[in-house]
Amino acid sequence: MIELENVAYSYGGDDLLAGMSLQIAPGSFHFLTGPSGAGKTTLLKLCYGALRPTSGQLTIFGQDVQTLGRDDVAMARRRIGVVHQDCQFLDHLPLQENIALPLTVSGQASPEQAGNLHELMSWVGLLGKEDALPPELSGGERQRAALARALILSPDVILADEPTGNVDWEMSQRLLRLLVELNKMGKTILIATHDLMLIRAAKSQVSTRVLRIANRQLIAAGAEL
């Protein structure tokens, strides 16, 4: 599904990632750990085509990213839902329109999709908040809205960058349960996080693979996790 073979990424002449090899199989659940600045977000951006490797081979859904044009990358990215760390929304639009933005941009908005939006907002516990503006939402509501927006196009893969970084433990567990449920529905999950307690909680619910970025490379996480 997503495969990196000896991938490196440099910015401004500095090597941020080097010699990375990773296979993300359909239906798998991965955690990515490492200290702040280690390159977790950079690796996620590589995985959804926002960045291209400096060297090595990166394939997404069987296609070599280096050979894809802009439109091809955009089509591949429709199969990948991304929950960004900063949860950016358009503050002047009500929540339901923010969540539906990927549908609007892709030209897929329809009455049927409107029904799907209602069901999705119910699933993440945001019914009654349809007309709320983003500044009116709590941190947990914003994170659930970000997850809903990532799911609106029914992607095959969910990439989440520190999805529980700004919420309390109870809300982080709720978000984790949603992600575990998605995985049990067949979605592929990759979560970048520094929260070791979250990883331990997940390991009791679902089969996971935990990786760590250290010295610009990927290694298997230690037994302490």
Per-residue pLDDT for 160 more than 80?
yes
The residues spanned by each domain of the chain are 2-79+155-221, 91-152
The pTM of this model reads: 0.90
150 φ/ψ angles, rounded to the nearest 5 degrees: -65, -25
Q: Which pLDDT band holds residue 223 (cuts at 50, 70, 90)? A: very low
DSSP secondary structure of 53-98: -SEEEEEETTEEGGG--HHHHHHHHTTEEEE-TT----TTS-HHHH
Note the pLDDT of residue 68.
86
Structure tokens that stand for 208 in this block: 């996971």
Percent of the chain with pLDDT over 70: 94
Please return the burial class of 168, using the count of CB atoms within 10 Å of its CB with bins 0-12, 13-18 and 19+.
exposed
Q: What are the helix (H) ranges across the chain?
A: 40-47, 70-77, 95-99, 101-106, 111-123, 139-151, 169-184, 196-203
Cα separation of 11 and 225, whole Å? Answer: 31
Mean of the per-residue pLDDT values of the chain:
89
pLDDT reported for residue 75:
85
pLDDT band at 104; cut points 50, 70, 90: confident
Q: What is the mean pLDDT of residues 3-20?
A: 89
On the question of pLDDT at 224 being above 70, the answer is no
Strand partners, 7: 20
How many whole angstroms separate alpha carbon 94 and alpha carbon 130? 7
pLDDT of residue 108: 65
Q: Are 117 and 99 in contact (CB under 8 A)?
A: yes
Four-point Cα dihedral 74, 76, 78, 79, nearest 10: -170
Please say if the pLDDT value at position 202 is more than 90.
yes
Least confident of 19-33, 45-59, 75-89, 211-225: 211-225
* Spatial separation of the C-alpha atoms in residues 13 and 11, rounded to whole Å: 5
For 2-79+155-221, which CATH class? alpha beta
Contact call for residues 160 and 188 (beta carbons, < 8 A): no
pLDDT higher than threshold 60 for residue 40: yes
Residue 16 has pLDDT above 90, yes or no: no
